[in-house]
Structure 1
Amino acid sequence: VPGGDGRVHVLNATYLVAEQRAEELAALVRALGERTGTRIELTGPWVPYSFVGEV
């Protein structure tokens, strides 16, 4: 799906990561981007949420 700036989005994903491992994930994402020449955007942390309605 093309973005507004002409880039093609390949993957849009959300992961729940333990706070103490957040920097490890960021380092892996940076390494993957460098190795592949791909622009990878990593954002967060975001507040956890749920799609479960009120019970």
Structure 2
Amino acid sequence: MRYTTVTWVERNFGYAVARAYAGHAEGGGAVGTTATYVRASLQEIAGALAALTGEPHPLA
């Protein structure tokens, strides 16, 4: 449940908001802790590439 919630917050409001929402303090270990919950799918990465290049991508 926590993984899904933190991932949803990050997707909709950004990494900094997800970090704060999860209660991870700013500083040294916070990035690693939040990164435990936030992952990108292959389709999301392909979508980012398509948006960046302006070209369709078969996996997006």
TM-score over 0.5 for the pair: no
Larger helix share, 1 or 2: 2
TM-score using structure 2 length: 0.30
Mark the structure with the bigger radius of gyration: 1
TM-score using structure 1 length: 0.33
Which of the pair has the greater relative contact order for Cα pairs under 8 Å at 6+ separation? 2
